[in-house]
């Protein structure tokens, strides 16, 4: 296995030069995994290991162990997870905690035990929503486990926190070079545009597009539009993941955000313009605003020399194009 000094956070500089190596991208069909897959292909990685759920059920320990024994990947990126909105989390709490625990435990443990210690490095992806409900703003890495979780997704959060801690434990006890990244709010191709459980950005794209097509005179959005949010395009996330695979081998998880805030009002007006809706944008001030501010402190990653490159408007144009070409007829 990839044995490391647990306190080492210096650049190891091996991943980007190792394009012939086998890289297992778990969850390659999702928003995050598909972006990482695209990024690795663009960098010339020629031996990417990808499996659909039908081909490899990551919740089955024996199947995961057999896959690792047969393929012996050198690098592993864990982007596979069971995700969903508030309704799904409250309806299927057992699924959200059990499936995520099974997936990450099976992969991380199989990476450790892979024959000949073939796995040199593993990266596990967390989520900014697993920080405490009342975390300080901007949210530093040290805020994890410093207070109560958001009740609406605590099952998912507990599982993801366990994954981060498992990476740390396997590094400390076994010397497995396992690191974790904590992305902020993501958007881009392969996003979820479902009318009932999508997040704010894809929901706005869907609503403005529908209003444009139907010739509606206005689109009503809840609240005042004053809350501040941070967004990161998934292609920037993929770039950050590759950067960490190449340059970071520390115990602490690393926040991965854009560092740029936008009000919901500014976001809605930008989406309106990108979609080409000519009607009026109306704010329903009788409805709640939600959390006033949610921003990650990504200064640790910035200190290593990485920053997001895709401006929000450019990313929205890209995302809307993908939505028109792939979603609206479904």
Sheet containing 75-78: give its strands across.
47-49, 22-26, 75-78, 121-125, 178-183, 254-256
Q: What is the DSSP string of 251-284?
A: SS-EEE----EEEHHHHHHHHHHHHT--SEEEEE
CB atoms under 10 Å from CB of 86, counted, come to 12
Which one is catalytic: 131, 156, 170, 323?
156
Contacts of 255 (CB under 8 A, 6+ apart): 128, 139, 140, 141, 181, 182, 184, 296, 297, 298, 300, 301
For the chain, report the end-to-end CA distance as a whole number of angstroms. Answer: 45
- Give catalytic status of residue 156 as yes or no: yes
HEC per residue, 55-93: CCCCCCHHHHHHHHHHHCCCEEEECCCCCCCHHHHHHCH
| Cα distance between residue 128 and residue 140, in whole Å | 10
Catalytic site positions: 156
């Amino acid at each position: 296995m990839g044995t490391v000094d647990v306190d080492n956070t210096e650049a190891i500089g091996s991943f980007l030069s190792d394009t012939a190596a086998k890289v297992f991208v778990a969850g390659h069909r999702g928003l995050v995994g598909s972006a990482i897959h695209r990024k690795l292909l663009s960098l010339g990685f020629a031996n990417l290991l990808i499996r659909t759920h039908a081909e490899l059920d990551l919740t089955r320990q024996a199947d995961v162990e057999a896959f690792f024994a047969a393929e012996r990947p050198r690098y592993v990126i864990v982007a596979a997870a069971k995700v969903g909105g508030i309704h799904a989390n409250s309806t299927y709490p057992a699924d959200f905690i059990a499936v995520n625990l099974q997936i990450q435990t099976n992969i991380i443990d199989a990476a450790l035990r892979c024959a000949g210690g073939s796995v040199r490095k593993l990266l596990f992806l967390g989520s900014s929503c697993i920080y405490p409900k009342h975390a300080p703003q901007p949210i530093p890495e040290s805020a994890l486990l410093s207070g109560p979780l958001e009740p609406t997704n605590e099952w998912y959060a507990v599982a993801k926190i366990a994954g981060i801690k498992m990476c740390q434990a396997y590094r400390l006890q076994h010397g497995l070079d396992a690191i974790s990244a904590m992305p902020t709010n993501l958007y881009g191709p392969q996003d979820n545009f479902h009318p009932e459980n999508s997040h704010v950005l894809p929901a706005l794209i869907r609503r403005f597009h529908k209003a444009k097509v139907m010739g509606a005179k206005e689109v009503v959005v809840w609240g005042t539009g004053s809350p501040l949010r941070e967004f990161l395009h998934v292609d920037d996330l993929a770039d950050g993941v590759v950067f960490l695979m190449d340059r970071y081998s520390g115990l602490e998880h690393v926040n991965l955000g854009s560092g740029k805030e936008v009000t919901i009002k500014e976001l809605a007006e930008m989406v309106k313009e990108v979609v080409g809706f000519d009607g009026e944008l109306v704010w329903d001030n009788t409805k709640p605003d939600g959390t006033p501010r949610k921003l990650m402190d990504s200064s640790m990653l910035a200190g290593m020399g990485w920053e997001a490159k895709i401006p929000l408007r450019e990313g929205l144009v890209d995302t809307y194009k993908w939505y028109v070409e792939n979603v609206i007829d479904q």
